[in-house]
């Protein structure tokens, strides 16, 4: 095997694995120095020169010229007589540079060098993949579905790297089969058993944020900032945005003319309902915007316990809470405060606070009912069993028992 064959075989491997030429040259140098060390004991007086363009590896042995009877180490020293055979002009004390042909190494040594280099290149390729994707966390990637398993799917990127999209990071209504193209955000990268594992996500808020950045040029240009994104993947999302240019409406810019910018994102997220909110440092106003489309009458903020009480007209409560409580849940996460919803009712009307029934109704049941905006007996009785069951995480039988207790109290009077 000659040097061209040897370099060509690894040059081809290098191209497949996208390893740069400089690193490849260093690997070749290190590999042959290892072979030299095995053959000669050390590499102090050897130079390895690699030229991958010409397919050449040149190895030079450097020896000091001494008297013929003074040669103590034939690897590092050469007698004057032998030196004169190389070049008659050599003198004592000078150094000779003799090229060692690759054929001087045994076939076994060459094969060992190839195996060593193969192993080193594979390790370097793993490191390159790890570093590349580590720097890309939070960015969107495309890939083709290669394998579909119960708990995850394997995706191949354009360079043949394996990426994993776990079931837990897929939107509930996602369905992929082999050959499909998938778009997702890089969530994290880790080394497992010295192998890089790139984990993708379609449920992470960063996926929605990254798609907005791609669609809305004002975000890429820094004119509009995304302050926060919260999601219930596949159901609903809320995004707070702010404009640094008073002439630009951040909400309108993100939505686009007739929804042109947001529609594509909604389709990608399996028709996820997206609310874009104008961010403000006016916290009471931000609370009101976060609970849209509900209209709030008043707000009470408890900064110490990070809780907010909001009062609404009875017909606005269901809007504030949303289907399955999603709207109020996302609003709480957006403002980073717990939100308690209360009906704004006529205080002159005879009613009883739910906490007054703690001797007859368990506290956790009362808390569940209050979460859906019913904090008085009459606010509960104004709903049907089905309506309350849909909003609160309670069994219908439990709700009937509660309503019976509340109704009995009014029947007494």
Query: If you average pLDDT over residues 134-162, what whole number do you get?
Result: 92
Taking each helix axis from N to C end, the angle separating 3-17 and 21-40, rounded to the nearest 10 degrees, works out to 140
| Own/partner pairs, 396-402, CB within 8 angstroms, 24+ separation | 398/365, 402/361, 402/365, 402/369
Query: If you average pLDDT over residues 405-410, what whole number do you get?
Result: 82
Last residue of a domain, one of 224, 246, 279: 279
Structure-model confidence comparison of residues 299 and 102, the more confident one: 299
Structure-model confidence comparison of residues 122 and 245, the more confident one: 245
In whole angstroms, give the CA distance from residue 173 to residue 54.
Answer: 55
Picking from 343, 366, 357, the residue whose alpha carbon sits closest to that of residue 409 is 357
Query: If you average pLDDT over residues 271-277, what whole number do you get?
Result: 95
Picking from 141, 113, 119, 127, the residue whose alpha carbon sits closest to that of residue 28 is 113
Three-point CA angle 12, 16, 17, nearest 5°: 115
DSSP code, position 2: -
Q: How many helices (H) and strands (E) does the chain have?
A: 15, 15
Same domain (yes/no): 126, 10: yes
Q: Are 134 and 23 in contact (CB under 8 A)?
A: no
Same domain (yes/no): 54, 26: yes
Q: Are 275 and 320 in contact (CB under 8 A)?
A: no
Residue-wise pLDDT for 70-81, tens only, equals 888 888 888 999
Last residue of a domain, one of 230, 258, 279: 279
Residue with tokens 């999603």: 326
**Is the pLDDT reported for residue 362 higher than 80?**
yes
> Within 13 A of 168's CA, how many CA atoms are on the CB side?
2
Q: How confident is the model at residue 226 (pLDDT cuts 50, 70, 90)?
A: very high
In whole angstroms, give the CA distance from residue 108 to residue 167.
Answer: 48
Query: If you average pLDDT over residues 24-46, what whole number do you get?
Result: 78
**Is the pLDDT reported for residue 23 higher than 50?**
yes
Q: How confident is the model at residue 55 (pLDDT cuts 50, 70, 90)?
A: low
pLDDT at 408: 82
Picking from 273, 281, 313, 274, the residue whose alpha carbon sits closest to that of residue 296 is 313
Same domain (yes/no): 195, 236: no
The strand pairing partners of 183, in sequence order, are 142
Query: If you average pLDDT over residues 374-388, what whole number do you get?
Result: 84
Query: If you average pLDDT over residues 7-13, what whole number do you get?
Result: 52
Considering the domain boundaries, does residue 33 fall inside one?
yes
Q: What residues have CB less than 8 Å from 277, skipping those under 6 apart?
A: 238, 239, 240, 241, 251, 286, 289, 290, 292, 334
pLDDT at 348: 46
Considering the domain boundaries, does residue 338 fall inside one?
no
**Is the pLDDT reported for residue 109 higher than 70?**
no
Q: Name the CA radius of gyration of the chain, rounded.
A: 36
Residue-wise pLDDT for 249-269, tens only, equals 999 999 999 899 999 999 999
**Is the pLDDT reported for residue 120 higher than 80?**
no
pLDDT at 11: 52
Considering the domain boundaries, does residue 42 fall inside one?
yes
Of 13-17, 102-106, 113-117, 348-352, which gets the smallest average pLDDT? 13-17
pTM for the whole thing? 0.65
**Is the pLDDT reported for residue 279 higher than 50?**
yes
The torsion of the CA quartet 177, 183, 185, 186, rounded to 10 degrees, works out to 60
Residue with tokens 């570093």: 131
Report the side by side order of strands in the sheet with 236-243.
Answer: 224-232, 236-243, 273-278
**Is the pLDDT reported for residue 1 higher than 50?**
no
Query: If you average pLDDT over residues 337-354, what whole number do you get?
Result: 76
**Is the pLDDT reported for residue 338 higher than 80?**
yes
Q: Are 410 and 377 in contact (CB under 8 A)?
A: yes
CA 286 to centroid of chain Cα atoms: 29
Q: How confident is the model at residue 5 (pLDDT cuts 50, 70, 90)?
A: low
Per the structure, the count of domains in the chain is 4
98 is in which domain, residue-wise?
A: 3-131
Question: What is the residue-averaged pLDDT of the chain?
Answer: 85
Q: What are phi and psi of 112, to 5 degrees?
A: -65, -40
**Is the pLDDT reported for residue 15 higher than 80?**
no
Same domain (yes/no): 100, 146: no
What is the domain-level CATH number for residue 169? 2.40.50.140
Same domain (yes/no): 143, 127: no
What is the domain-level CATH number for residue 79? 3.30.1480
pLDDT at 346: 57
Of 157-166, 240-249, 288-297, 311-320, which gets the smallest average pLDDT? 311-320
Residue-wise pLDDT for 185-216, tens only, equals 999 998 887 788 999 999 999 999 999 999 99
Considering the domain boundaries, does residue 297 fall inside one?
no
Encoded tokens for 84: 């004169």
Considering the domain boundaries, does residue 345 fall inside one?
no
Considering the domain boundaries, does residue 303 fall inside one?
no
Q: How confident is the model at residue 138 (pLDDT cuts 50, 70, 90)?
A: very high
**Is the pLDDT reported for residue 325 higher than 60?**
yes
């Amino acid at each position: 095997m000659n040097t061209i064959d040897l370099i060509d075989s690894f040059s081809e491997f290098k191209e497949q694995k996208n390893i740069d030429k400089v690193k490849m040259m260093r690997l070749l140098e290190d590999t042959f120095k290892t072979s030299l060390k095995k053959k000669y004991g050390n590499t102090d007086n050897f130079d390895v020169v690699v030229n991958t363009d010409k397919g050449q590896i040149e190895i030079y042995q450097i020896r000091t010229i001494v008297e013929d009877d003074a040669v103590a180490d034939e690897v590092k020293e050469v007698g004057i007589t032998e030196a004169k055979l190389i070049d008659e002009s050599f003198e004592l004390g000078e150094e000779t540079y003799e090229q060692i042909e690759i054929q001087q190494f045994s076939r076994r040594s060459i094969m060992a060098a190839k195996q060593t280099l193969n192993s080193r290149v594979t390790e370097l390729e793993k490191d390159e993949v790890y570093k590349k994707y580590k720097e890309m966390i939070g960015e969107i990637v495309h890939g083709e579905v290669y394998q579909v398993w119960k708990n995850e799917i394997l995706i191949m990127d354009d360079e043949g790297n394996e990426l994993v999209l776990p079931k837990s990071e897929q939107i509930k209504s996602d369905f992929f089969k082999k050959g499909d193209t998938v778009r997702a955000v890089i969530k994290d990268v880790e080394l497992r058993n010295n192998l890089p594992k790139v984990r993708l996500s379609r449920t992470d808020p960063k996926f929605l944020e990254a798609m907005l950045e791609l669609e809305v040029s004002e975000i890429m240009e820094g004119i509009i900032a995304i302050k926060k994104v919260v999601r219930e993947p596949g159901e609903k999302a809320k995004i707070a945005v702010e404009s640094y240019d008073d002439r630009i409406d951040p909400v309108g810019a993100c939505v686009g003319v007739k929804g042109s910018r947001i529609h594509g994102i909604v389709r990608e997220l399996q028709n996820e309902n997206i609310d874009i909110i104008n961010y403000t440092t006016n916290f009471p106003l931000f609370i009101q915007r976060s609970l849209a489309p509900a209209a709030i009458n008043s707000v009470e903020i408890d900064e110490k316990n990070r809780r907010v009480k909001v009062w609404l007209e009875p017909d606005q409560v269901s809007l504030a809470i949303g289907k399955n409580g999603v709207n109020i849940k996302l609003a709480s996460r957006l403002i980073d405060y717990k939100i308690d919803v209360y009906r704004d009712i006529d205080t002159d009307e005879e009613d009883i606070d739910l906490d007054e029934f703690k001797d007859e109704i368990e506290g956790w049941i009362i808390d569940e009912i209050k979460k859906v905006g019913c904090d008085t007996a009459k606010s509960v009785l104004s709903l049907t069993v089905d309506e309350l069951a849909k909003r609160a995480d309670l069994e219908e039988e439990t709700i009937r028992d509660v309503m019976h207790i509340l109704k009995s109290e009014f029947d007494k009077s």
